[in-house]
Chain A
């Protein structure tokens, strides 16, 4: 009787949240999967089922492949720039935990992660600006020719990687700091007694022991890298008005197909590709963690 009353309460309490969740999450996710198999142009009433035709078309779509390559380069570029730097910076901040400055270090490194994306991107747009930017002024000062940072197809990808890394660094440092605080102190003391130097115990103790954290931060960084959009939008649109669109990324291509070309089914199939990428990355993370657990 009592148990039944509790069960009824639990169901009644969870129901509103569940209803909202089903409406704004479950249904849209399912609908993305469904739409990816249809051809739908918003305006017409009929939505013919086309099977995997959308995906086949994607494989030959230059704009999409371009976006996929760019996005992949950006995601891995951010990963390779962020993880080593975050690991070293977190180790050093952890080493200085007891100093009064550690709060300042943490805050300073973390602020770029929390500030609004667009204003922050604006700051970097000025830094990279070919005519007015301090970066080119600095380069010419050292006798290096000025670069057309935001208009060169290669350099503009580099710019986006730098901007994204600047934002991702703080999160990675924070998670690594949590990791360092959870490492057993006794191990480091033992290493010290055996004559290990600071860098040695960082290399031989910290890095292997923090591997699960590295795996987690890497996947989070990669997933958010594959969802890059605002950064590319702000950096690549020309200050004089005409959008440069030098750097196509997946989300941009998807939104253009859906809302400019009115090809919703096609855009949904791009979303499915994005979902598959994220799922594969997450599965890799889980299987690597499990392997570690066995060893």
Chain B
């Protein structure tokens, strides 16, 4: 029996060869079917956005044609010039960029410092504080935004980028993410060695810790930027004058106007959409790393 088995392993019969070919072909066919399915899913996911961009370049007549065209027959930029003439679209984009950049800087700075302290300094009082940070992480923004609005009001920063910023200065998850990174990537020995060489605590943070956290901070920065860029409910209540709108609020209110048609709406949307998609594709690795780590909380 064993001898037979050994023989057959050395010298596959013609039937076995045919069987192997059949299996390989079946595997190839399965993979092909999976690829076809996944390509269909991918295209379906992207289709609404593709149509939106296409519609932005269409004339009102072509907008109504069936089936809808993906590449406009006679592309026009009339929609874009109309939107830019009617709305302070660039101002809104500027507001959103300023808001998102400042929020990113604030979140990265607070998370880097707090994450490092919580990760490497083991004092009882700090553990209590960390538990507090973590516990508030599950409270949705929508729950506490009304009292926050009255804080912004008493500071006199409603209808300004500073008002927008107030809601997005810290991120509990960011502190948690950096703390995990500090614990796993920065050995205590390194810090001790620097201390023995006479380095001050602040010098160590600036010259040893920060460079080692570059990857994690990059991922967090991308996450923070997109979080502010796509914020909706908070800008909606804090920025209520036409010149202080963020781009999301500006667009949402613009589309409720009386004279607005789909072409112009699509054009305004495309102006916002195209740069953020490009930015995402460029920063994809950072972003995926950041989002993926949100799932590793438990």
- Least CB distance from A11 to B in Å reads 8
Whether the Cβ atoms of B45 and A169 lie closer than 8 Å is: yes
Whether the Cβ atoms of A255 and B237 lie closer than 8 Å is: yes
Given that A108-B42, A169-B45 are contacting pairs, would A230 and B37 also be in contact in the complex, using a CB cutoff of 8 Å? no
Whether the Cβ atoms of A17 and B255 lie closer than 8 Å is: no
Interface residues of A in 22-70 (CB under 8 A from B): 23-29, 31-32, 35
- Least CB distance from A163 to B in Å reads 9
Whether the Cβ atoms of A13 and B281 lie closer than 8 Å is: no
In this assembly, does A246 line the interface, its C-beta being within 8 Å of a C-beta of chain B?
Answer: no
In this assembly, does B260 line the interface, its C-beta being within 8 Å of a C-beta of chain A?
Answer: yes
Given that A28-B148, A92-B38, A111-B49 are contacting pairs, would A122 and B30 also be in contact in the complex, using a CB cutoff of 8 Å? no
How many chain A residues have a CB neighbour from B under 8 Å?
Answer: 101
The binding surface of chain B is classed by DSSP as: helix
In this assembly, does A229 line the interface, its C-beta being within 8 Å of a C-beta of chain B?
Answer: yes
Residues of A with C-beta under 8 A to B248:
116-118, 230
Whether the Cβ atoms of A101 and B277 lie closer than 8 Å is: no
In this assembly, does B162 line the interface, its C-beta being within 8 Å of a C-beta of chain A?
Answer: no
Residues of B with C-beta under 8 A to A171:
291
Residue among A122, A134, A268 having the largest count of chain B Cβ atoms under 10 Å = A122
Whether the Cβ atoms of B288 and A106 lie closer than 8 Å is: yes
How many chain B residues have a CB neighbour from A under 8 Å?
Answer: 96
In this assembly, does A203 line the interface, its C-beta being within 8 Å of a C-beta of chain B?
Answer: no
Selected from B146, B266, B288, B295, the residue in CB contact (under 8 A) with A258 is B146
Residues of A with C-beta under 8 A to B133:
21
Residues of A with C-beta under 8 A to B34:
92, 95-96
Residues of B with C-beta under 8 A to A212:
298
Which residues on B are within 8 Å of A, measured CB to CB? 30-31, 34-35, 37-39, 41-43, 45-46, 48-49, 51-52, 55, 63-64, 66-68, 110, 113-114, 116-118, 121, 123, 125-126, 129, 132-133, 136, 138-148, 151, 166-167, 169-170, 172, 175, 195, 201-202, 205, 226, 229-230, 232-233, 236-237, 247-248, 251-252, 255-258, 260, 262, 265-266, 268-270, 272-273, 276-277, 280-281, 284, 287-288, 291-292, 294-298
Whether the Cβ atoms of B272 and A119 lie closer than 8 Å is: yes
Residues of B with C-beta under 8 A to A170:
45
Selected from B37, B45, B291, the residue in CB contact (under 8 A) with A108 is B45
In this assembly, does A76 line the interface, its C-beta being within 8 Å of a C-beta of chain B?
Answer: no
Q: How many angstroms between the C-alpha atoms of A264 and B146 in the bound complex?
A: 8
Given that A101-B39, A175-B295, A178-B295 are contacting pairs, would A126 and B260 also be in contact in the complex, using a CB cutoff of 8 Å? no
Residues of B with C-beta under 8 A to A14:
113-114, 117-118, 126, 129
Given that A32-B144, A234-B252, A243-B256 are contacting pairs, would A114 and B139 also be in contact in the complex, using a CB cutoff of 8 Å? no
Given that A178-B295, A198-B30 are contacting pairs, would A31 and B144 also be in contact in the complex, using a CB cutoff of 8 Å? yes
Given that A13-B113, A116-B272, A174-B288 are contacting pairs, would A268 and B298 also be in contact in the complex, using a CB cutoff of 8 Å? no
Q: Mark A238-281, 1 if CB is under 8 A from B, else 0.
A: 11110100000001001100110000100110011011001100
Residues of A with C-beta under 8 A to B230:
114-117
